Structure 1
Amino acid sequence: MPVPEDPKDTERRKGPEGPAEPAAPGDGAGPRALVVRNRHDSIPMDLLFRGDTAELPKPTKTPGASAASVASSSASAQAGATKNTKKKRAHPDDRTAPVKDGRKPPAPPRPDRELAERRGPACSGWWALLVALLALGGAAWLIWSGGLVPARITDFLALPERPRNGLVAWQRAVVVGCGAVALFALGGLTRGRVGSAWTLSLFGRYRGSVRRTGLVWISPLMLRRRVDVRLRHWRSEPMTAVDAEGIELRVVVLVVWQVKDAARALLTVDDHQAYLREQVEAVTARVVSRLPADSFREPADDVPTLRDAEAVGDALGATLAAECRAVGIEVFSARPTRVEYAPEVAAAMQRRQLAAIDAKHRDTVLTSVLDAVDDTVRRLTERGLVTLDDYERKALVKDLTVAFYTARGSAVDTH
């Protein structure tokens, strides 16, 4: 049985679909939850203006359905929509969620697995040489059996004369085939050296690398590129950098490196040595900018500076190794051999350094003088050699301080 309502409210809320009824005051939809009813259906009004895509409950087709049950179904629909909205909301820590502009963050670059160095097709050159000799011997025997060898050669080699019958078609094909085999076998012979490797490619595709030494046979159809895989070192030119305080420096770095993956070193970049030089410059500028060149503050021992060559070298080596690993270069060490100020600021920084050294020296001398004065006055007083009041004690301390400080300063200047 429908809930009775005020006739004025009915007239004000009447629409094209029929009268609207308020929900019961005790249900979960609240006092503003309204229900639009017609002859066949009852639809909660708040669902007509929702922008949520949640599935709406089917309207009740019972004409006599109570407003309380319809309002409760509306409240449950709202709760379900809120739950679905919370499920669809991306977690702030989700790495796969798109960024503000709608694009996903770029993934870190990964080296192509096909460019990883692997063993290329090659064999010992002595086998190729043996095949070439056998092919040439077979072709020569067929030519001699057909009587096509000149008399001078047969006389020189002491071979019996053969009638000049010529070669039939299959013999000619065999001779041509033997010659092609000999050329193919001899054309692939090369010399492998210690500390170098061949990178092979066929029709633009990487086929493998060869690190064999001695006489080696590689298919002459493949394009061969040699790369040096020995342990090498490179000393950079003075590079411009700035320290943590923005002071311009000149840094020289010694890098010990080796080509670990010949395929990536040759095929990933145009010039792996130029790539290494550029990375050394970039990494040096980045690492040097983290620390000051010198510390003029006290205590200076607790402040890390660029004068700690071991710590700076470890940071340079680790960072450079991570940058060069993608191109097949293994960096064993990167040590700064010289860190100095730029010529424009060298004079000013030298004066600042001398002032800091002089201040530290004066502080050391003054500390030792004060210790000596304190010990002298204390010993004189404890042994009863003098009896001093406050005024006399201050005067004695002043005279002893001046005397000891003058003596220490003269001794230091003499040395």
Structure 2
Amino acid sequence: MINEKNTTAISGYLSFVVLLAGLGLAAYGIYGQSVWLIAIGIVLALVILKGWLVVNPNESAVLILFGSYQGTVRKDGFFWVNPLVVKRTVSLKARNLDGQKIKVNDKLGNPIEIAAVVVWQVRDTAKALFAVDDYSKYVQIQSEAAVRHLANQFAYDNFEDEAAVISLKDGAQQVSGILEKELNDRLAMAGIDVIEARITHLAYAPEIASAMLQRQQATAVVSARRQIVDGAVGMVEMALEKLSEKDIVQLDEERKAAMVSNLLVVLCGERNVAPVVNAGTLYH
């Protein structure tokens, strides 16, 4: 595989002096009516003009001579190179790839919509031009493939897969790191460096979004109820211990059961409790 190699070029300002000399020679040939001087001067000027090369900041020029890679000029400025060389400009600027939303199944088989943004730049100009057909298109296709593979590796959330350490919804930082690493591995052969990769859109597919929302709401309600019950049981236990410790009242098992029932109703109920005064005893 061809790897990038840096090359230097002659200053373009020096060649400009040679151009002026060629034009002067042609003018002198016209004055002296010398066809040879005119021809030499014009050919020299055309050779100089054909070899001029301008490299802008954050750009590079790949030089190819008769199908052979000669090197890459990375230094910005005005240069002159062999006029027979084919010059191909490659941008070294960071670029954004705003991926389209794609539908894919997550680890549990649920259809989801996912999209990612990728910040990338060319690291090796030779690989970018010669290892793949179109490196920009290659980045786009490989990015989509990496996002699909990422979605297949993890569940959308951990409601169904409680043992999952990372989920697409809650593990944004870890998921972005995994995506960035996979993209760097995929794009290395094209001489592309991935600077950053992040998920920009994540949602259930429309056909199951409503059902998943209801499931999440039900899960949240069950979780809240579980916490309320745990707290209520703890408070009832503490109340019984305090009553027994301070010997405020002696309760048999039946009275304890009634007290526990009443306290749980008070603590776990959603509405305010209306007290009922019992004028008799528990047994009448």
TM-score by structure 1 length? 0.62
- Which has the bigger relative contact order, CA under 8 A and spacing at least 6? 2
Distance change (3 Å), C-alpha of 1:137 and 1:195 = same
Q: Distance in 2 between matches of 1:383 and 1:297?
A: 47
- Opposite residue 226 of structure 2, the aligned amino acid is D
Q: Distance in 1 between matches of 2:254 and 2:160?
A: 37
Question: Which is worse superposed, 321-330 or 180-189?
Answer: 180-189
Give yes or no for contact 2:53–2:81 (8 Å, CA) kept in 1: yes
Larger Rg: 1
Q: Distance in 2 between matches of 1:378 and 1:264?
A: 76
* Structure 1 match to 2:253: 390
Output the aligned Cα RMSD.
1.9
CA deviations on 1:265-300 (whole Å, 9 max, x unpaired) are 1222221111111111111111221111111259x5
* Structure 2 match to 1:129: 16
SS in structure 2 of the partner of residue 289 of structure 1: helix
* Structure 2 match to 1:97: none
Give yes or no for contact 1:121–1:218 (8 Å, CA) kept in 2: no
* Structure 2 match to 1:313: 176
Q: Distance in 1 between matches of 2:265 and 2:57?
A: 75
- Opposite residue 303 of structure 1, the aligned amino acid is V
* Structure 2 match to 1:373: 236
* Structure 2 match to 1:243: 106
Picking from 62, 70, 75, the partner of 1:199 is 62
Picking from 71, 79, 99, the partner of 1:216 is 79
* Structure 1 match to 2:130: 267
Higher percent of residues as strand:
2
- Opposite residue 119 of structure 2, the aligned amino acid is V
CA deviations on 1:292-323 (whole Å, 9 max, x unpaired) are 1111259x596321121111011101111011
* Structure 2 match to 1:65: none
SS in structure 2 of the partner of residue 227 of structure 1: strand
Q: Cα distance, 1:121 vs. partner? A: 5.4
Give yes or no for contact 2:51–2:81 (8 Å, CA) kept in 1: yes
Q: Distance in 1 between matches of 2:24 and 2:249?
A: 121
Give yes or no for contact 2:29–2:36 (8 Å, CA) kept in 1: no
Q: Distance in 1 between matches of 2:222 and 2:231?
A: 14
Give yes or no for contact 2:115–2:147 (8 Å, CA) kept in 1: no
Instruction: Indicate whether 1:335 and 2:198 are aligned.
Output: yes
Q: Distance in 1 between matches of 2:166 and 2:22?
A: 73
Q: Distance in 2 between matches of 1:116 and 1:173?
A: 45
Give yes or no for contact 2:180–2:197 (8 Å, CA) kept in 1: yes
SS in structure 1 of the partner of residue 153 of structure 2: coil
* Structure 2 match to 1:118: 5
Picking from 280, 283, 287, the partner of 2:146 is 283
Q: Cα distance, 1:142 vs. partner? A: 4.2
Question: Which is worse superposed, 247-256 or 217-226?
Answer: 217-226
Q: Distance in 2 between matches of 1:405 and 1:357?
A: 16
Give yes or no for contact 2:158–2:164 (8 Å, CA) kept in 1: no
Q: Cα distance, 1:135 vs. partner? A: 2.0
CA deviations on 1:82-121 (whole Å, 9 max, x unpaired) are xxxxxxxxxxxxxxxxxxxxxxxxxxxxxx1xx2111245
Identity of aligned residues (%): 31
Give yes or no for contact 1:231–1:256 (8 Å, CA) kept in 2: yes
Distance change (3 Å), C-alpha of 1:270 and 1:302 = closer
Q: Distance in 1 between matches of 2:215 and 2:12?
A: 68
- Opposite residue 140 of structure 1, the aligned amino acid is A
Picking from 195, 205, 208, the partner of 1:345 is 208
Give yes or no for contact 1:241–1:284 (8 Å, CA) kept in 2: no
Q: Distance in 1 between matches of 2:271 and 2:11?
A: 82
Q: Cα distance, 1:187 vs. partner? A: 2.0
Q: Which runs of 5+ in 2 are unaligned?
A: 273-284
Give yes or no for contact 1:240–1:249 (8 Å, CA) kept in 2: yes
SS in structure 1 of the partner of residue 89 of structure 2: strand
Q: Distance in 2 between matches of 1:303 and 1:223?
A: 53
Q: Distance in 1 between matches of 2:245 and 2:181?
A: 62
Distance change (3 Å), C-alpha of 1:410 and 1:124 = farther
- Opposite residue 141 of structure 1, the aligned amino acid is Y
Q: Distance in 2 between matches of 1:302 and 1:247?
A: 15
SS in structure 2 of the partner of residue 384 of structure 1: coil
Distance change (3 Å), C-alpha of 1:193 and 1:295 = same
Give yes or no for contact 2:28–2:37 (8 Å, CA) kept in 1: no
CA deviations on 1:212-256 (whole Å, 9 max, x unpaired) are 323222333122222211012221111222211011111111111
- Opposite residue 166 of structure 2, the aligned amino acid is P
* Structure 1 match to 2:281: none
Give yes or no for contact 2:166–2:174 (8 Å, CA) kept in 1: no
Q: Cα distance, 1:329 vs. partner? A: 0.5
